[in-house]
């Protein structure tokens, strides 16, 4: 595995044509990198997507800036003009990303099971273990140390970074990215109690990951108890997320780190879930719901919109006073009820 640094530079005109956007200023200026407005130097391109960074626009040393039409009208320098500067920034940044390459073919140290198929264009890195009846499609990349259980299917152009583990019967779609340490298909937390002793409930379902999903490092997705755990098209998961058995996450939902989703919960499409959110089991979350960081969800959410819970940071002395008042609320409520009855 080798690391290749970008050696190509781009003219502003070339970038405008490549991404079908307008440009202003010196279209021949050369872009060799990308940087924030306040840290950019000659040769860099930067972008402005939030008003709080406008203060750096006049003094930036960037050779060009990605702007919306309103900002571009008042900017004297070189710029690319687009409706969504943040999106264009992401596309331009991809041109300068360092790429880790892996050689096509099966490494000599890999262990390959029987009765499966591996496309000629696929890459299976050092010390990978691939089980029986596994299907690996065209241009799949398995970086070193990946473990693929029996009867898994991995779709075209999917990339598994080092030390990803797929248990048996996991189905991965096309163009999926799974980062290091992720585990898909471990048993769900299925237990039944009999006279104080826990008995394991066999987890007989699988995991289905649809196309264009990204799964962060050390994220875990449990297999279903009877049916599958499913991530629909375009779902994006951050690092260190836990998805329990039989959860279904709707298309194009994005979830930030350390969120936990308990079993059999159904999350809608186009949701945005912040970091550290806790969602209880057997709930339904509607489409286009925003859950702010640290929100605790204990009942279903049936209408789209933004939801939050928890207490924001405050000075310790104030927090201590407020906690004491919170603990006194029940007694105060009872006194108020007695007072209301006496007045009536």
Q: How far apart are CA 24 and CA 118, in angstroms?
A: 48
Looking only at the bridges linking them, the beta strands covering 79-81 and 207-209 are unpaired
Is there a catalytic annotation at residue 245?
yes
- 3-class SS of residue 160: strand
- Over its C-alpha atoms, the chain yields an Rg (Å, rounded) of 26
DSSP class per residue in 89-114: HHHHHHTT--EEE--SEE-TT-EE-S
Q: Which stretch of DSSP H or E encloses residue 177?
A: strand 177-178
Q: How far is it, in rounded angstroms, from Cα 297 to Cα 84? A: 32
By 3-state DSSP, what share of the chain in percent is helix, strand and coil, each rounded to 5?
15, 30, 55
Structure tokens at 17: 């044509």
CA distance 249 to 95: 31
Whether the CB-CB separation of 266 and 285 falls below 8 Å is answered with: yes
Going from the C-alpha of 52 to that of each of 29, 44, 81, the distances in angstroms are 27, 21, 19
CA-CA distance, 224 to 193, in Å (whole number)? 20
Q: What are phi and psi of 155, to 5 degrees?
A: -80, 170
Q: Which of 89, 101, 199, 245 is catalytic?
A: 245
Is residue 63 within 8 A of residue 31, CB to CB? The reply is yes
Sign of the C-alpha dihedral computed for residues 315, 321, 327 and 328 taken in this order = negative
Cβ-count burial 83-97 (b if 16+ within 10 Å, e if not)? eebeebbeebeebbe
Q: Report the catalytic residues.
A: 245
């Amino acid at each position: 595995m080798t690391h290749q640094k970008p050696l190509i530079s781009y003219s502003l005109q070339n970038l405008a044509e490549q991404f079908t956007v307008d440009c202003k200023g010196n279209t021949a200026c050369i872009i060799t990198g990308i940087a924030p407005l306040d840290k950019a130097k000659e040769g860099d391109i930067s972008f402005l997507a939030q008003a709080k960074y406008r203060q750096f626009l006049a003094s930036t040393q960037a050779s060009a800036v990605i702007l919306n039409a309103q900002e571009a009208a008042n900017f004297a320098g070189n710029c690319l003009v687009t409706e969504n500067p943040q999106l264009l920034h992401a596309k331009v940044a991809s041109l300068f990303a360092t790429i880790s390459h892996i050689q096509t073919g099966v490494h000599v140290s890999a262990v390959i099971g029987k009765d499966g198929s591996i496309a000629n264009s696929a890459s299976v890195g050092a010390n990978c273990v691939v089980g029986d009846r596994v299907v690996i499609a065209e241009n799949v990349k398995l970086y070193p140390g990946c473990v693929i259980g029996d009867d898994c299917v991995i779709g075209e152009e999917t990339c598994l970074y080092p030390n990803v583990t797929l248990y048996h019967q996991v189905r991965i779609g096309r163009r999926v990215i799974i980062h290091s340490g992720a585990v898909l298909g471990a048993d769900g937390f299925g237990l039944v109690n009999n006279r104080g002793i826990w008995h394991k409930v066999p987890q007989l379902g699988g995991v289905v990951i649809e196309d264009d999903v990204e799964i962060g490092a050390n994220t875990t997705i449990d297999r279903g108890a009877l049916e599958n755990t499913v991530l629909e098209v375009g779902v994006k998961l951050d690092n260190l997320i836990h998805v329990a058995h039989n959860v279904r996450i709707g298309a194009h939902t994005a979830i930030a780190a350390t969120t936990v989703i308990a079993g059999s919960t159904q999350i809608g499409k186009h949701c945005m879930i912040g970091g550290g959110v806790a969602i209880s089991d057997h709930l339904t979350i509607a489409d286009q719901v925003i859950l702010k960081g640290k929100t605790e969800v204990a009942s279903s959410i049936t209408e789209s919109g933004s939801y939050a819970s928890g207490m924001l940071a405050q000075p310790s002395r104030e927090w201590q006073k407020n906690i004491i008042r919170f603990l006194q609320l029940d007694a105060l409520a009872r006194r108020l009820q007695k007072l209301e009855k006496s007045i009536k």
